[in-house]
Amino acid sequence: MAWYNDIGKENDVVVSSRIRFARNVADYPFESKMDDTSAKEVIEKVTKALGNGFESIDLSDLTAVESGALVEKHLISPNFAKKKTPHALLQNDKDRVSVMVCEEDHIRLQCILPGLALDEAYKTACIYDDRLDDKLNIAFSGELGYLTHCPTNLGIGMRASVMVFLPALTMTRSMENLSVQLSKLGFIVRGMYGEGSQPEGCLYQISNRITMGVTEEDTIKRLNDIVMQICEKERKAREMLKSDNYSAIADRVCRAYGILKYARIISSKEFLKHFADVRLGIALGIITDITYETLGEIMIGVLPANLVLNNGNKPLGDFERDVLRADYIRGNLEK
């Protein structure tokens, strides 16, 4: 089951956990300096090293919509989707384990799981990282650690991140202060698509900023501890909102649910606004007839590229897409 329509630990706050490794093959220049022949060789070697069980997707064979759908599922980066030089996606375990080959680094291996599951994601990613290390000459320095294209990844070459749902902390205007506190601890808060993205639907990505002079295990432990503290703060803020003015919160939640359930036209932006209120309503027990899994599936399915792809990849104008989105939401809420 894909990460976005499943649930895990602390799922009322933590939507997903991701571990990503950046690796390079020592026998080749960094991706930005590689020619097409070298890029194809790296793709072939990485595919062979990972072994059976991975589906290889040549991104040059995909339409912009098909690539966009992979971005929306958090399987590839927006820059990777736009590349013109040879690059490939290797996929295993249904939208949970994926490898971008010839992105900014030769290898970007990630495991993404539902809920708070950093330890499990790390163990899974390490299985495939070990395969690569056994079969390839991975660029590594005893002094600097893993050698990466961007200096910010030098060292452990790992990004540990969680996607968290923080409506109460957002409503109480606590996010700016939280971001400052996390930055002092070596972590960064971004939008749901990471670097360069803005928070929408009260969804935030929290990840480590420091990769030098630390270990993978310590980084994961610290992020786990921080996330548990954030969960506690968010839940307290939710209960405060509920106890201070239950009628206002219930009205806000139910209005949002009504719009999603009965609207005939809805944009992505409007959906995410009401999505946040409905998800909060589930957490507070105000809404009991839909699940986090259903809402998670809708969250990905209504995004522009996935919406078009699931409709036979037919070209759609903005208005047609907004009508189709409303149909999709109603259909899933009625299941």
Measured between alpha carbons, how far apart are the two ends of the chain, in Å?
18
Q: Are residues 192 and 157 in the same domain?
A: yes
Among the listed residues 10, 332, 291, the one whose alpha carbon sits nearest the alpha carbon of residue 164: 10
Alpha carbon separation from 238 to 72, 234, 283 (Å, rounded): 28, 6, 9
The CATH code of the domain that includes 153 is 3.30.590.10
Q: Residue 175: its pLDDT value, please? A: 92
- Domain boundary pick from 182, 207, 236: 236
CB 102, CB 42: distance < 8 Å:
yes
Q: What is the DSSP string of 305-326?
A: HHHHHTTTT----HHHHHHHHH
Tell me how far CA of residue 90 lies from CA of 55, 56, 94, 206, in angstroms.
5, 5, 11, 25
Residue 37 and residue 178 in one domain: yes
**Per-residue pLDDT at 202:** 94
Question: Can you give the length of the chain in residues?
Answer: 335
Q: Is 266 helix (H, G, I), strand (E, B) or coil?
A: coil
- 222 and 283 both lie in a single domain: no
Q: What sections of the chain are H helices per DSSP?
A: 36-50, 64-72, 78-82, 118-135, 167-171, 175-184, 216-244, 246-262, 268-283, 292-301, 304-309, 318-333
Considering only the C-alpha atoms of the chain, give the largest distance between any 2 of them, rounded to a whole number of Å: 64
* pLDDT value of residue 194: 61
Given 179, 210, 236, the domain boundary residue is 236
Q: CA 126, 129, 132 angle in degrees (round to 5)? A: 155
The phi and psi torsions of 48 (rounded to 5 degrees) equal -65, -40
Domain span at residue 310? Answer: 245-333
> Which of 214, 236, 258 is the last residue in one of the domains?
236
Closest CA to 224 of 119, 306, 120: 119
CA 186 – CA 103 distance, rounded (Å): 25
Statement to judge: residues 192 and 312 lie in one domain:
no
Q: How far apart are CA 293 and CA 89, in angstroms?
A: 26
Residues 260 and 224 placed together within one structural domain of the fold: no
Q: Do 31 and 120 have their domain in common? A: yes
* pLDDT tens, per residue, the chain with 335 residues: 788 888 899 999 999 999 999 999 998 999 889 999 999 999 999 999 998 889 888 888 888 899 999 999 999 999 899 888 899 999 986 779 999 999 999 999 999 999 999 999 999 999 999 999 999 999 999 899 999 999 989 999 999 999 999 999 999 999 999 999 999 999 999 887 666 556 789 999 999 999 999 999 999 999 999 999 999 999 999 999 999 989 999 999 999 999 999 999 999 999 999 999 999 999 999 999 999 999 999 999 999 999 999 888 888 889 999 999 999 999 999 87
252 and 208 in a common domain? no
Using DSSP's 3-state secondary structure scheme, residue 98 falls into: strand
How high is the pLDDT of residue 75? 92
Which residues, including other chains, have CB under 8 Å from residue 3's CB and lie 6 or more apart?
Answer: 16, 74, 95, 96, 112, 113, 114
3-class DSSP assignment, residue 88? strand
pLDDT at res. 199: 75
218 and 273 both lie in a single domain: no
**Total structural domains in the chain?**
2
Q: How far is the C-alpha of 188 from the C-alpha of 197, rounded, in Å?
A: 13
pLDDT of residue 126: 97
Does one domain contain both 207 and 268? no
Domain identity same for 44 and 153: yes
Give the pLDDT score at 52. 83
The pLDDT value recorded for residue 7 is 87
Locate tokens 């976005």: which residue?
Answer: 4
Same domain for 127 and 48: yes
DSSP secondary-structure letter at 212?
A: S
> Does residue 217 sit in the same domain as residue 265?
no
The answer to whether the beta carbons of residues 99 and 108 sit under 8 Å apart is yes
For residue 14, the tally of other CB atoms under 10 A from its CB is: 25
What are the residues whose beta carbons fall under 8 Å from the beta carbon of 113, sequence distance 6 or more? 3, 8, 16, 17, 18, 96, 120, 121, 124
